Amino acid sequence: MESDKQLTQVIGRIGLGDRHAFKKLYDATAPRLLSILRRMVHDHQQSEDLLQEVYIKVWHQAGSYRADKSSPLTWMGSIARYTAIDFIRKQERQPTTVAESVVTEVAAPKTSPTNIEQQHLSNCIQLLSSDQRNAIIAAYLGGYTHSELSHRYNSPLGTIKSWIRRGLRSLKECLSI
């Protein structure tokens, strides 16, 4: 994976219409974005279709990318996630098709936090109640809707919304955002 600085330069060139730079960015980042999309959409072919949409957006939006606002991977990851969220909402995905293994990945990370921000986030997430933590992480990583979460945790919709809202408020305070 290229460094943030290298990716920023590559995106700058894409903003000027450089197709070689575009292919370079794709090669460096597509596996990560496809991973994010597959986790949310669960179907490989649909994920690859969405991956195409994501890079078409990247091509068109590269000229307005602001490196001082967010890192290249955060910017591209967000484009991927919002593309998947829009797709999921349109599809009205059935809760029964949702994989069960997503949330535990973050509740028990495979690796130790590698920097201060990760450590800070990890600490703040651990301060949440398990219901709040699971609901927020499932929504973020899996693209779960409120109703899917309601089905998943066998809890009323209002309870799910409350877990998420209160959990986010706690996270906000802890992270000082």
Partner 1 sequence: MRYDNPELQSLLAAEYVIGALQGKARDRFEQLLISSQSLRTAVVNWETYFSLIDDDVVEPVNPSSQAWRGIETRLFAETRQTISRWWRSFALIAASLLAVLLLQWFDEPEFEELSLDYVAVLQSAEQQPIWSVSIRGQGKQLEAVALDVPELPTALDYELWLLAGEGDAPVSLGLLPRQGAVMRELALITFEGATALAVSREQKGGSITGSPTEGAVLYVAKLFPSST
Which residues sit at the interface with partner 1, rule CB under 8 A? 12-13, 15-21, 23-24, 26, 30-32, 34-36, 38-39, 48-49, 51-52, 55-56, 59, 63-64, 66, 69-71, 73-74, 77-78, 81, 85, 88-89, 105-106, 109-111, 114, 117-118, 121, 136-137, 139-141, 143-146, 161, 164-165, 168-169, 171-172, 175, 177
Q: Is 5 or 20 the residue whose CB approaches partner 1 more closely? A: 20
- From 132, 41, 120, select the one nearest 83 (Cα to Cα): 41
Q: Is 96 or 107 the residue whose CB approaches partner 1 more closely? A: 107
- Tell me how far apart the alpha carbons of residues 64 and 82 are, in angstroms, rounded to a whole number: 17
DSSP code, position 95: G
Closest contact distance (angstroms) between CB of 97 and partner 1 is 17
Q: Work out the angle between the directed axes of helices 116-127 and 130-142 (0-180°, nearest 10).
A: 130
Closest contact distance (angstroms) between CB of 96 and partner 1 is 19
Neighbours of 54 (CB within 10 A): 24
Q: Report yes or no: 52 and 26 within 8 Å, Cβ to Cβ.
A: no
